[in-house]
Amino acid sequence: MGHSNQEPSHYPWRSSKWLIVSTISIAVFADTFLYAFLVPILGYIFENRLQVNPSQTQTFTSGILAIHGLCSAISGPVIGHFADKSVSRKSLLLLALVGCILGTALIACAHSLYLLFLGRVVQGIAGSLVWIVGFATVAETVGDDSIGAVMGVVTSFAHAGIISGPMISGFLFGLAGYWAAWSVPLAVLIVDVIARLIMVERPHEPQPEPSSETSETESTSLLESSRRSHDATTTLGFYGILLSSGRVVTALLVSVSIVSLNTGFDATLPLHIRHAFGWGTSATGLLFFCLSIPAVVLTPIAGWLRDRIGTRIPATIAFLVQAVVMALHGIAGTDYFAWSSAETGGRVFFRASILAIGMLQPFILGVAPIELTAFVKEKQELTPGIFGPRGGLSRTFSMTEVAATLGMIIGPVLSGSLTELVGYSYMSWTWSVLSIILACLAFMSLLS
């Protein structure tokens, strides 16, 4: 490594791009898998293991899911600040692994609400550390000409974890019981441990300090430049520079919106399809599968496309098409038209609209990481050392983490409130209008 005179054994392949990207992919898969794994068995944990009154199960379920996002939002900026000052990203990834194992053990073995929530808090902070440091490591390792495709691959692993976690836990719990179900998270963590121990991060070249060599006539401008550079190395200075850019703000809004839409479906879709079509839990699971599975396949393709033509055109087109689909989604199952009722084509149309939304999301999901990474690297090329010797990538990904967390909070509140106040159709049409607004912002602000 860069801090030792002697390289570790098998250094070339242990520090290779493919192994680093594979390790981070496994790490984010493990995080999302463990997050989603808990969902189908929460009822059993609360009512059978913790003896919670069934009337309180929904309240505690919402709380245990929400606290994960809350911990990420609070810890994200702190993690980003210290990660950019750390000399070793691998040590932080190993620390996150310890937290993940500890949190998972607390959850699995919990015999009180306190231990269950404590485990979720530890798991949430560890997960935030994985995402921030992991994506920063990928951004440092991969060239700018392929970062979109590589980020797409890593994100596909994250989606695979979200999809497979509930499926595996529900199947194994029903087949073999509680403790047998936890054998798969144990196997996932063992693979994660091996990968992180094998990986060796590449030596990082510190960002040079801005040059102070100049003539006397340039001293004033250099003093001002040095002052701005010094301010930018602070956390507030860093965030101030990024948030003063319309490009960055738009990218973050894109991230908030797409996560809000997804979590809004979590809060409204099951109840709506029960009332509109008489569908039960099996149909709900199938619809969420249709919403999620396209991302596993299409996200690398969307990343490759962004590497070729940028983020602006794919995101703009995706938002415009999403506006149309959401408008039609709100009509499906209603009696506004003869073809849209539940007795005619409404059921097929509803399923098709969900699948279409899932197919559009990969072209929107990766916008924020790509745009913010490019912005920070451009600033560092213009003014070397502006964000400190380790750069600002960890703080960059802490911003995308917080944006996603805000989406997790805003989505259920916005969609749930609109559905309750004006109905599911008007909620869908509201998202249609918001998609048009975001398409305009993306076209005007994102990188072409």
Vertex 260, ends 257 and 266: CA angle to 5°?
150
Q: 3-state SS string over 71-137?
A: HHHHHHHHHHHHHCCCCCHHHHHHHHHHHHHHHHHHHHHCCCHHHHHHHHHHHHHHHHHHHHHHHHH
Q: What is the dihedral of CA 307, 311, 312, 315, to 10 degrees?
A: 130
Task: Calculate Rg over the CA atoms of the chain.
Answer: 23
What totals of helices (H) and strands (E) does the chain contain, helices first?
19, 0
Contact present, 308 and 423 (Cβ < 8 Å): no
Predicted pLDDT of residue 223: 40
| Spatial separation of the C-alpha atoms in residues 255 and 230, rounded to whole Å | 30
Predicted pLDDT of residue 288: 80
Predicted pLDDT of residue 394: 85
Tell me the CA distances in angstroms from 98 to 91, 192, 441, one per residue in order: 11, 11, 41
Tell me yes or no: is domain 229-447 CATH 1.20.1250.20: yes
Predicted pLDDT of residue 254: 95
Which of 144, 63, 146 shows the shortest CA–CA distance to 393? 144
| Spatial separation of the C-alpha atoms in residues 448 and 432, rounded to whole Å | 24
Kindly tell me the burial class for residue 440, based on how many C-beta atoms sit within 10 Å of its own C-beta (0-12, 13-18, 19 or more): middle
Q: Which amino acid makes up residue 204?
A: H
- pLDDT, tens digit only, all 448 positions of the chain: 444 456 777 778 888 888 999 999 999 999 989 988 887 788 888 888 998 888 887 678 777 877 877 888 888 888 988 888 887 888 899 999 999 999 999 999 999 999 999 999 999 899 999 999 998 888 888 877 788 888 888 888 888 888 788 888 888 888 888 999 999 999 999 999 999 999 988 766 555 555 444 334 434 443 444 444 445 556 677 888 899 999 999 999 999 999 889 888 877 887 788 888 888 767 777 888 888 888 888 988 998 998 889 999 999 999 999 999 999 999 988 888 877 787 778 888 999 999 999 999 999 988 998 899 889 888 888 888 788 777 788 888 888 888 888 887 788 888 888 888 998 999 999 999 999 999 999 999 997 5
CA dihedral sign of residues 57, 115, 107, 34 = positive
* Superfamily for the 12-201 domain: MFS general substrate transporter like domains (1.20.1250.20)
Which pTM does this prediction carry?
0.76
Predicted pLDDT of residue 226: 43
Do 12-201 and 229-447 come out as alike in CATH topology?
yes
Give the contacts of 157 (CB within 8 A, at least 6 positions apart): 25, 26, 28, 29
Tell me the CA distances in angstroms from 27 to 112, 161, 169, 232, one per residue in order: 28, 10, 19, 31
User: Domain boundaries in the chain?
Assistant: 12-201, 229-447
| Spatial separation of the C-alpha atoms in residues 345 and 430, rounded to whole Å | 23
| Spatial separation of the C-alpha atoms in residues 289 and 1, rounded to whole Å | 43
| Spatial separation of the C-alpha atoms in residues 246 and 250, rounded to whole Å | 6
DSSP string computed for 243-309: HT-HHHHHHHHHHHHHHHHHHHHHHHHHHHHHHHH---HHHHHHHHHHHHHHHHHHHHHHHHHHHHH
DSSP single-letter state for residue 207: P
Question: How far, rounded to the nearest angstrom, does the alpha carbon of residue 271 sit from its chain's CA centroid?
Answer: 26
Question: How far, rounded to the nearest angstrom, does the alpha carbon of residue 283 sit from its chain's CA centroid?
Answer: 26
Q: Residue 111's CB: how many other CB atoms inside 10 A?
A: 10
Tell me the CA distances in angstroms from 159 to 45, 46, 310, 373, one per residue in order: 25, 27, 23, 21
Which of 56, 10, 434, 120 shows the shortest CA–CA distance to 264? 434
